[in-house]
């Protein structure tokens, strides 16, 4: 490709990525597969012919992208939903990853005829899952999961990347003889513990900073949160913790806190995560030379089959079996071991480190990811129905304003007056901790009326228009008006 402006190429690739994401939901193919295919078509072996083979740069871009993706993933996960699946989710994210890496690593070393440590390295690289594509397929096909399965898969996919990263880096150290096996165990506990602490600490500090900083321009708040994500990752890494775990935990903690511009900031990070996914997958696709996949296709196909039908099921059943999870659920979780972003990023680590057979490992990992997305990704809805863990999604209900105002749907608009002595006086809305299902829509103060923000302080005599669910009515009224009388003011 001669004399084509780089920015034009970037813009076209991003536009194609957006269009492909829309297509993926229609045809039931994960967008990941289409993004990777776009990168391969744009690469050296494709018709576009973009020459790119800088694995070190791809590794750095992938690390940053994964940090923002994990933060957004944590921010979109409610603590209430994952609390009941915390034990099995964490077990899958740690023990499950270790078992998958061990079983597949031993088998891969035999199939590829490489040393055992290099086989275990391949197993570690490919041990983590990516459930984001799974949920887009389930939604597009009208399939819902019961029994906490969705929350379990969300928790596993968001929290198992740090374990895979640690194993990959640790085994590379063993191959290069810079790390000992005994110190590896202690380092794992230390990294996870520090990552957890740093994530919680930065989330706590971030929400309070946002509420108190009172920036003059709203557009600076997204800039602030970008800096916080980068500080969280790098801060945890700098002191020897897991930066990826820290960013995921920070996102999870932030999602369950009250702070200014929360909805708009979470939407911003969702958009940023999509940008990172498209950029990262296209970039990883550029690294692949399809002509190099042909010689390893047979062996890689066998590795992919062993991952899907042996290593993943063994890891899931050994991990969840003692927890008495239903067999059908364990079978479904086994099949939803979809590989995606993290394995391809981690596959750049051994290449950048100069490990023997690193390019072969990268090509095999890329092929296995493609097969996992193609085979498992397109059959997940059918597997959910066959195993009896799915139910058809009901069409979303539509309500008229009359129904809402009348309270026929469990919530209604009410007008309240802030009385003298009410707990809300002098406090911002975000600091009140209003119950779920309560929204102050409008404030009338004297002759003025305005739509309140999270930083709006209430005064005695304010007349409020409040949208409140019936279950939250009494507690919200006490906070805002200072009394419990029935009926609107």
Q: Give me 388's structure tokens.
A: 């009896």
Let me know if 68 is exposed, middle or buried by CB neighbors in 10 A (0-12, 13-18, 19+).
buried
Exposure on the CB side of residue 15, measured as CA atoms within 13 A = 6
Residue 487 has pLDDT above 70, yes or no: no
Residue 398 has pLDDT above 60, yes or no: no
Per DSSP bridges, beta strands 143-145 and 390-392 are antiparallel
In this predicted structure, what is the pLDDT of residue 300?
A: 92
- The answer to whether residues 128 and 164 touch, using CB atoms and an 8 Å cutoff, is yes
Q: Is 488 helix (H, G, I), strand (E, B) or coil?
A: coil
Q: pLDDT band for position 295 (50/70/90)?
A: confident
Instruction: List phi, psi (to 5°) of 432.
Output: -75, -25
CA angle 412, 433, 85 (to 5 degrees): 95
Let me know if 451 is exposed, middle or buried by CB neighbors in 10 A (0-12, 13-18, 19+).
exposed
Question: Average pLDDT in the 256-262 region?
Answer: 82
DSSP state letter for 77: S
Distance of alpha carbon 428 from alpha carbon 440, whole angstroms = 12
Q: Is 417 helix (H, G, I), strand (E, B) or coil?
A: strand
Q: What is the pLDDT of residues 138-148, one digit of tens each?
A: 555 556 676 67
Q: pLDDT band for position 313 (50/70/90)?
A: very high
Other beta carbons within 10 angstroms of residue 418's beta carbon come to 23
- The answer to whether residues 167 and 101 touch, using CB atoms and an 8 Å cutoff, is yes
SS3 content of the chain, % helix, strand, coil (to 5): 70, 5, 25
Q: Which CATH class is domain 53-392?
A: mainly alpha
156 versus 2: the higher-pLDDT residue is 156
Between the ranges 1-5, 225-229, 353-357, where is the mean pLDDT highest? 225-229
Q: What is the pLDDT of residues 33-59, one digit of tens each?
A: 777 777 777 776 667 777 777 788 888
Q: How far apart are the first and last CA of the chain?
A: 70
| C-alpha of 124 from chain center | 20
For residue 172, CA distances in Å to 55, 78, 101, 121, 265 come to: 16, 35, 14, 7, 38
DSSP state letter for 425: B
| CATH 3.60.110.10 for the 401-481 domain, yes or no | no
Distance of alpha carbon 376 from alpha carbon 386, whole angstroms = 14
Give the domain ranges of the chain. 53-392, 401-481
In this predicted structure, what is the pLDDT of residue 193?
A: 92
């Amino acid at each position: 490709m001669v004399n084509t402006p780089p920015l034009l190429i970037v813009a076209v690739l991003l536009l194609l990525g957006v269009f492909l994401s829309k297509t993926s939901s229609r045809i039931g193919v994960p967008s990941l597969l289409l993004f990777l295919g776009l990168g391969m078509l744009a690469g050296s072996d494709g018709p576009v012919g973009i020459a790119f083979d800088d694995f070190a740069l791809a590794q750095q871009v992938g690390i940053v992208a994964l940090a923002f993706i994990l933060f957004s993933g944590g921010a979109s996960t409610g603590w209430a939903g994952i609390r009941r699946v915390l034990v099995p989710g964490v077990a899958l994210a740690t023990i499950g990853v270790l078992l998958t890496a061990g079983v597949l690593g031993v088998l891969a070393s035999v199939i590829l005829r490489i040393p055992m440590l290099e086989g275990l390295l391949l197993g570690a690289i490919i041990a983590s899952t990516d459930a984001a594509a799974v949920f887009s397929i389930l939604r597009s096909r009208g399939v819902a999961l019961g029994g906490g399965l969705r929350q379990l898969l969300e928790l596993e996919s968001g929290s198992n990347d740090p374990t895979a990263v640690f194993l990959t880096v640790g085994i590379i150290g063993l191959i290069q003889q810079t790390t000992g096996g005994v110190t590896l165990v202690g380092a794992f506990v230390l990294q996870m513990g520090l990552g957890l602490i740093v994530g919680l600490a930065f989330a706590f500090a971030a929400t309070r900073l946002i509420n108190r900083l009172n920036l003059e321009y709203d557009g600076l708040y997204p800039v602030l949160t970008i800096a916080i994500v980068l500080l969280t990752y790098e801060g945890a890494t700098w002191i020897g913790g897991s930066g990826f775990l820290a960013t995921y935990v920070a996102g999870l903690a932030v999602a369950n806190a009250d702070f200014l511009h929360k909805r708009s900031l979470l939407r911003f990070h969702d958009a940023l995560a999509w940008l990172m996914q498209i950029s990262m997958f296209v970039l990883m696709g550029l690294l692949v030379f399809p002509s190099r996949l042909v010689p390893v296709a047979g062996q890689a196909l066998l590795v992919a089959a062993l991952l899907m039908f042996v290593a993943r099921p063994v890891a899931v059943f050994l991990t969840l079996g003692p927890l008495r999870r239903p067999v059908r659920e364990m079978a479904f979780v086994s099949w939803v071991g979809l590989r995606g972003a993290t394995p391809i990023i981690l596959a750049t680590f051994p290449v950048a480190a100069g490990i023997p057979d690193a390019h072969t490992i990268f090509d095999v990992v890329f092929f296995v990811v493609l097969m996992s997305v193609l085979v498992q990704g397109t059959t997940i809805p059918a597997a959910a129905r066959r195993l009896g863990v799915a139910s058809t999604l009901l069409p979303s209900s539509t309500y008229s304003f009359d129904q809402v105002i009348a309270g026929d749907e469990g919530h209604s608009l009410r007008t309240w007056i802030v009385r003298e002595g009410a707990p809300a006086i002098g406090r911002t809305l975000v600091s009140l901790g209003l119950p779920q299902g309560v929204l102050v829509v409008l404030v009338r103060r004297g002759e003025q009326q305005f739509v309140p923000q999270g930083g709006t302080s209430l005064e005695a005599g304010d007349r409020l228009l409040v949208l409140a669910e019936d279950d939250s009515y009494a507690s919200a009224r006490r906070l805002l008006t200072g009394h419990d009388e029935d009926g609107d003011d």
